[in-house]
Amino acid sequence: MIMKNWRIASLMLVIIVLVGCAVSEEEALELGRQAYLDSIGEEPVEPNYEREDIRIFLPNDFEVQEKIDYNILLRQGDQLYNLFFQPSELSSSSFHFERDQELAGRSIIYEMNELDDTLSYLIIEKREEDEQYHVITASGGARITTVTSYQNLEQNIQAMTSIVQSYQVENG
């Protein structure tokens, strides 16, 4: 009897710890925003992927699915990302931002920064139809988007920001 009660108490303790450690949606949004702010303040990661006109950093678990003109479809497990780029745009370019201003107006998180003449921004918009989040981060002539759950926001935003921050145009 004592052993059975001990098992029940242990199980309850594990459940309480797991529930207590779960991140709320609001906390996940703030962690994602902070991941973006921390990433843009860091030195860009050295690119490890090249195509004829650009160089970018791809985290180890990312792979290129498809390349079409100024788009690269990336995959990280089941997560898809679309990288858009404009090689003719300078790092101070607002090209992508001007296109995304409508989204910024209805976003739940919107951050814009100008650091060392580079315009970058983060937009997070909640999609009501499936409770997912449309995430956009951009820096100069590079912009990356994905749709994700709140549980993966911080990790995805960190990876996305490191990709666009590393973007370099090949002069050729």
Tokens of 126: 């909640």
Q: Is the pLDDT of residue 152 over 60?
A: yes
- Is 39 inside any structural domain? yes
Could you tell me if residue 137 is inside a domain? yes
Residue 77's identity, in one-letter code, is G
Residue 65 in any domain: the answer is yes
What CATH code is carried by the domain that includes residue 38?
Answer: 3.40.1000
Domain hosting residue 149, numbered range:
24-169
pLDDT of residue 127: 87
Q: State the residue for tokens 């459940």.
A: 15
Provide CB contacts within 8 A for 158, sequence distance 6+. 35, 36, 38, 39
H-state helical runs in 41-93: none
Beta-bridge mates of residue 135: 124, 146
Instruction: End-to-end CA distance of the chain: give it in Å, rounded.
Output: 78
Q: Is residue 79 part of a domain?
A: yes
* Helix ranges (DSSP H) in 23-152: 25-40, 95-105
The beta strands (E) that lie in the chain are given as 49-50, 54-56, 63-68, 71-76, 79-85, 109-115, 118-127, 132-139, 142-148, 168-169
Indicate the pTM of the whole model. Answer: 0.83
- For residue range 78-134, what is the model confidence (pLDDT) as tens digits? 999 999 998 887 776 677 677 777 766 788 888 988 888 888 899 999 988 888 999
Structure-token pair, residue 56: 């970018």
Give mean pLDDT, residues 31-56: 90
Position 33 in a domain: yes
Kindly state the tokens that stand for 69: 């003109």
2, part of any domain: no
Number of domains in the chain: 1
Residue 4 lies in a domain: no
Q: Is residue 17 part of a domain?
A: no
